[in-house]
Copies of this chain bind each other. A is one copy, B any other.
């Protein structure tokens, strides 16, 4: 533990070798140091009281960051509490989301209307309608994105800053900076350790995002104790190596003035590097547990809070007390915010006069409008030769990508594999970057080379999507298997219902010789289980067209289009793009059928081939075929419709053919030809046979099952793995 024994109430602690003391506040010129001291004390005590109320919560970091809060909400950020959705507002993210009370309290103090006093008091209460959940949530006023899982917030912030740079480069004209907001993000020690955070820092430095400022709440304490138990890297040097500018603030507990000065440097419009402000703070400062891990996640205790109040010279009988002086201090913020908005509205009006067409486009984008005819840009027919569905993707949407600037397409270093470029696509990169290969960058570019960083690609895309609804629709791409790397961010997108489209290629054992590390057999179970996620496996170009229509329309969250590496046959005349819209549809009906074969995605044609073989076997077996690209869409259909498609309630058993593990199919089928373990390294043309997916072998398995079925050997509800 940090040694704070000498002075428990006014904590002294050694942080990074510096002796730290809570004491004389240093305020920007317009406020006295004495007044600032009251503001800071007031904030710390309010946090302590709020956590003590229900004996739960995360008080330590919020208390330690009091001065940072003042610097941001009072001085640094441009925002409008009474018009919280103002388009050009500064964005703020608390990447260390467990310290959420810090944000809620600052929202309250700066005058957000939804954050009433009663709401602030609801932190950790039994109120299901509380605006103060245990981590900040996007649904609530003043919160840009849901944070909490560590490292996500900083990655989201990079996305927000990229969105601003992109829209600025696209729409600003000399004298008319209609998009020039700044992004501010607080990170704790964890965001610097988490891999996704490391990816974010590295990539933001590369992108030279001068419109991004990170404030590092450097309290050197995590749950297990002092950070040097587990991390002894030279953080500033590492950040410099990643292309960031560094400002140190030695006394982040009291020195509001220095933090404000650093924020001002951050906002400088000529910055060509993101700014990292390394602010030394003390967790739980002023309390008996100052500088200790125990200050992190439990309330401080009534006695300790009383001691704090006493040491501050405050009335120990008062709880939740905010002196009038403090209220006055924050009182002008809503008015100031309204002024920002009205200045911007004036600017927008002048811009509309000077650049009427561009302004209309800008307004459409702000409103999240796509061209009315977007879906007609998808071809109505496709070539009939065998094609990998990853290439079908390009056939289906390259016109949309070229003509609808709403879409920004990214890839985790798989441009040659994912086929998501379009004619004359331009790269999103800093304008002064001349890479050894490829074209010079521009922030107006819409193709994003994320590097080999799948996780941050998805997390940044959440930020791009959250900048403003449907103003940018980010598309990500990688091999399906690497959406396991990206999964924590994909899930955060789903939780927040963010409009992101993920394109996952090489989605089956058909990926071939790369072997089991690259062959997804269980991953679809995760994405089929994930709430709000539209996971689709289209079976040929026609279904790919349907998948994109659904993915673009879907407003429930992210979508994932899962496509093949290998060439697969076009089932022309059988597949229907509108069939995709209900998740499953009858590909081929058969009167008095003996069995329903369910085909899926890259292996949809297997079902067709087996049905043909069964029909010509002796005795002939009649198989109807259902194409089943999406569980999520089929689950939304009424039971009656589901029964009409599957006909299991007419006594016809359903057998699914999909070389993934069975988990998830037991709901829709009575048996399956599924994978029972991991894949194998074999070229695509051999691997299916190796795992029993030859027509002959499948036919045999199905016949055996049907015999057992007719003899009543299959118990009700049982699922048979053939």
Residues of A at under 8 Å CB distance from B?
A: 1-2, 14, 54, 56-57, 97-98, 124-126, 128, 130, 133-135, 137, 146-151, 189-190, 193-199, 202-203, 205-206, 220, 222-235, 237-238, 240-243, 292-293, 297, 411, 413-417, 427, 429, 433, 435-438, 449-456, 481-482, 484-485, 487-488, 491-492, 495, 512-518, 521-523, 525-526, 528-532, 639, 643, 648-649, 651, 654, 661-664, 666-667, 669-670, 675-678, 680-683, 685-686, 690, 715-719
Contacts and interface: CB of A to CB of B under 8 A. Distances in A.
B690 A128 contact: yes
A650 B318 CA distance: 66
A93 to B, nearest CB: 14
Given A526-B522, A681-B130, A681-B137, A222 B452 contact: yes
A383 B340 CA distance: 63
A234 B488 CA distance: 28
Given A133-B513, A206-B233, A229-B435, 7 more contacts: A2-B437, A148-B517, A224-B414, A233-B242, A237-B240, A526-B529, A651-B716
A689 to B, nearest CB: 10
Nearest to A230: B451
Contacts of A233: 202, 205-206, 241-243
Contact of A134 (B414, B433, B513): B513
A667 B202 CA distance: 45
A436 B220 contact: yes
A670 B717 contact: yes
B482 A485 contact: no
A206 B232 contact: yes
Contacts of A529: 522, 525-526, 661, 663-664
A195 B683 contact: no
Most buried by B among A237, A243, A715, A719: A715
B229 A437 contact: yes
A195 B199 contact: yes
A48 to B, nearest CB: 18
A620 to B, nearest CB: 24
B238 A452 contact: no
A449 B223 CA distance: 11
Given A226-B435, A436-B14, A437-B229, A193 B241 contact: no
Contact of A243 (B232, B662, B680): B232
B517 A149 contact: yes
B242 A230 contact: no
Given A515-B133, A717-B716, A203 B232 contact: no
B531 A521 contact: yes
Closest 6 A/B residue pairs (Cβ): A195-B195, A133-B681, A198-B198, A649-B715, A225-B437, A226-B436
Contacts of A427: 229
Contact of A514 (B148, B225, B495): B148
A222 B669 CA distance: 43
A230 B203 contact: yes
A701 B230 CA distance: 49
Nearest to A292: B437
A598 to B, nearest CB: 13
Given A529-B663, A663-B663, A451 B222 contact: yes
Contact of A488 (B243, B484, B643): B484
7 contacts: A230-B451, A232-B433, A237-B240, A237-B241, A484-B491, A531-B661, A717-B717
A438 B194 contact: no
A184 to B, nearest CB: 21
